[in-house]
Amino acid sequence: MINKAMILAAGFGKRIHPLTHKLPKPLLKIGNETLLSNTLKFLEFFGIKEVVINVHYLGEQIIDYINNNKFNLSIRIVEEKEKILDTGGGVLNAIQYFSNEAFLIINPDTVWNLNYLKELKSMQKIFFENKKKCLLLVVNKEKSFDKSFKGDFNFKNGLIDREKKHNLDHIYTGLQITKPEVFLGSDEKVFSINRIWDKLIDNKELNAFESNINFLHVSNLDTYEKLLKNFKY
C-alpha cells in the first residue's frame, strides 16, 4: 500500500498572471476549495498518511495556509529557498523522506475529484503486482477541458513513448506512482522530471494507466476563468 505522497507546489504560476503576482497558484480557489486543499483532501480519501509539499515562489503563504488549516495528514514542507529546483530536482531534494517506499507524486493544478479514487486504486494494484518502477495516469487529450494541450505522450499496451512527436495524443494528468530509486544517481540539482521519464522510455520502463475521466486542469488564466464559471468541486 502507498502511504506517502509529494505535492509539487513550488512553481511560479506565470501562465495565471496577474492572479499569481501576489498569490501562489496552489492557493487559487475553485468553489470553496483551493487547488491545494482539494489535492490534500483527495489524498486523504485515498488513504495517504504522510505528505511532503515543496515550496519556493511565495512559499511562506503556503506554509501559513497549512499551519492555519486542519488536515488529517502528517504534512512536511520542504522549502527550496535559494532557487527553484524544477519538477525532477524538487522531488530529488525531498527523496530522503520516502525511504525506499513507493510514493505518489501529484500536481495540485488538476481538479481532482473522488472519481479518480477508483483509477488510483487500480494503478496501485498494477504497480505492485507487476513490479513497476513508474506508473503515470494519462488521459486522451480529447477528454481535456483545455483544448490547447498538444499532448505529452503516445500510449499503447501500457507503455509510453514519444516517437510520433507531432502526433502525441495523451496528456499527463499530474499523478504518478514511482519508486525513489528512479530519481537517484542524478549529478544535477535542477532538472525537469521529463529527464527521468526519458530514461525510463529508453528502457521501456515508463508505464501508464489511462484515465476515463474528463480532465480539468488550471493551465492558464483563460482556462481558470472558464472553470470558475462552469465547474464546482
pLDDT of residue 187: 82
CA-to-CA distance for 90 and 102, rounded, in angstroms? 17
Q: Is residue 46 classed as helix, strand or coil in its secondary structure?
A: helix
Packed helices 86-93 and 193-202: angle between N→C axes, nearest 10 degrees: 90
Question: Torsion angle, CA of 96/97/103/104, rounded to 10 degrees?
Answer: -110
pLDDT of residue 232: 56
pLDDT of residue 167: 87
pLDDT in tens, the chain (233 residues): 999 999 999 999 999 999 999 999 999 999 899 999 999 999 999 999 999 999 999 999 999 999 999 999 999 999 999 999 999 999 999 999 999 999 999 999 999 999 999 999 999 999 999 999 999 999 999 999 999 888 999 999 999 999 887 889 999 999 999 999 999 888 899 999 999 999 999 999 999 999 999 999 999 999 999 999 886 55
pLDDT of residue 173: 98
Task: Compute the radius of gyration of the chain from its Cα atoms.
Answer: 17
Residues 178-212 have pLDDT tens digits of 999 999 888 899 999 999 999 999 999 999 999 99
Distances (CA, A) of 5 to 64, 97, 198, 227: 20, 10, 22, 26
pLDDT of residue 194: 96
pLDDT of residue 127: 98
> Which pTM does this prediction carry?
0.96
Here the cell at position 161 is 513513448
pLDDT of residue 231: 67
CA-to-CA distance for 58 and 99, rounded, in angstroms? 28
Q: Which of 54, 55, 53, 44 has the alpha carbon at shortest distance from 3?
A: 44
144: number of CA atoms within 13 Å, CB side? 23
